[in-house]
Amino acid sequence: MPSQLNKAAVSIIPGAGALALATLYLIAMLRVESQTTILVLLGIGAAVVVVAHWLGWLAPVALSFQERDDALARLAVVAVVAIAGYFREDHFVLLLLCTVLLYTVATLGLTIQFGYAGVLNFAGASFFGIGAYTSALFTQHTTVPHLVVLLVGGIMAALVGCLLLLPVLRTRGHYAAVVTIAFALLLKTFLEVNDVLGGPQGLKVKGLSMLGWSFNDNIEIGHLEMSFYVSYLAASLLMLIGAFVIVRRLERSWVGLNLDALRLDETAARCFGLNIVRWKVTAFLLGNFLIGAAGALYGMLVGFVQPNSYTFADSLIFVSILLLGGIGNPWGVVVATVIVVILPEKLQAIQEYRFLLYAALVMMVLLFRPEGLLPRPVRSYLPGWRP
């Protein structure tokens, strides 16, 4: 590889091609109903990836994703819009897509905490749930504009996270893990026994409405009819774009560099004058904000919240997504979320076994490929620069 590789030299075509193929594959996957066809499709998909890896075709794809990040991100948005357009009348598929997008936002929040700053959080689903409960309370009992409610959901998750700041800052590794696990268990029990918050039955959430436009009505433009989930998909996509941009910019900035430094060696980072506490707090609260905001929208999307949707096992699903995708790589998070959310919904046979399967999958990943499916590339400040 020549050292003076510049931006124009790295073609966008391999990345765009892979994206187009993935889009078509996803449409096919979401379209088919028969379990055997799904299994065949899965087999084909796995075979294609293995063969491409064997022929060395994955390297140019990875390179173009690394170098032409922004352009490919825009194409990915187009791809989501295309999928949504194809399934515009299919409630179930659109709901699934919204779930994927919002889970991705939440896992991006975890990426900031866990992937960059190295702050453990095994209560991801709890903070997601706090966002959802916030949107339930605010939409039912106040007239706060719903767009603000999404922000409040994020802020509430960050505020509740503040309760954990002291123990999380003072502990590390397994100690920090047990703090967040204890919090996840605490919150679920609390929600179950607290009558004000609906107890085990949970609460209803009003649908999102903005400037007189209710998101829970089907859309009719001329003869074109669309499911009301299309509006939610648009909102989720916007939120994901925002989160993605934040994470990308954060990683590339000096803030990301500081976070990496303190994750890799806290003592050395402190010797270089980094304020450990400040950056850990920033990462933890920012991550929680993203998780909470995603949770608030998710609550409006599904219309109800209950303690059983936000258990410790669900938190582990978030962590599984993170590990599967490759810690610290936002693209990996996207791919892993698609796999983790869509697969059990399509393959009904494994629906019941999903926690077990993901646990086994993550154990395999940790044993044989600890860097995840898409390992995080070295951060490049100058386009095309190679050490």
Partner 1 sequence: MGFGLLAQYAMNGLMLGMMYALVAVGFTLFFGVLDVIKFSHGDVLTVGAFAALAAFVGLRSVGVDSSAVQLLAMLIAAIGAMAILGALIARAFVMPLRSAPPLNTLLITLMLGTALREMIRLFYPDGANPKPFPRLLPNGFVRIGEFNLRLDNVIMLTAGALVIIGLELLLRRTKLGLAIRAVAQDEETAKTMGVNFTLIVLVTFALGSGLAAFAGVMNGLYYNEINFGMGLYLGVVGFSAAIIGGLGNIYGAILGGFLFAALQTIGAIMLPFASAYKDVFAFGVVIAIMAWRPTGLIPEKQSERV
Q: Which residues bind partner 1 (CB under 8 A)?
A: 120, 122, 164, 166-167, 170-175, 177-179, 181-183, 185-186, 189-190, 193, 266-267, 312-313, 316, 319-320, 323, 352-353, 355-356, 358-360, 362-363, 366-367, 370
User: Least distance to partner 1 from the beta carbon of 375, Å?
Assistant: 14
Residue whose CB is less far from partner 1, 176 or 255: 176
Cα separation, 68 vs 64, in Å, equals 5
Residue whose CB is less far from partner 1, 50 or 360: 360
CA neighbor of 373 nearest in space, from 339, 346, 348, 343 = 339
Cα separation, 292 vs 106, in Å, equals 8
Establish how many alpha carbons lie within 13 A of residue 9's alpha carbon, considering only the half-sphere containing its beta carbon. 9
User: Least distance to partner 1 from the beta carbon of 171, Å?
Assistant: 4
Residue whose CB is less far from partner 1, 52 or 361: 361
User: Least distance to partner 1 from the beta carbon of 310, Å?
Assistant: 15
The whole-angstrom distance between residue 290's C-alpha and the CA centroid of its chain comes to: 9
Cα 61 to Cα 13, 35, 52, 58: the distances in Å are 8, 31, 10, 5
For β-strands 209-210 and 213-214, DSSP reports them as: antiparallel
User: Least distance to partner 1 from the beta carbon of 229, Å?
Assistant: 31
User: Least distance to partner 1 from the beta carbon of 186, Å?
Assistant: 4
For β-strands 304-305 and 203-204, DSSP reports them as: antiparallel
Residue whose CB is less far from partner 1, 320 or 337: 320
Cα 137 to Cα 30, 152, 183, 304, 375: the distances in Å are 34, 11, 21, 11, 40
User: Least distance to partner 1 from the beta carbon of 176, Å?
Assistant: 8
Residue whose CB is less far from partner 1, 178 or 373: 178
Residue whose CB is less far from partner 1, 76 or 317: 317
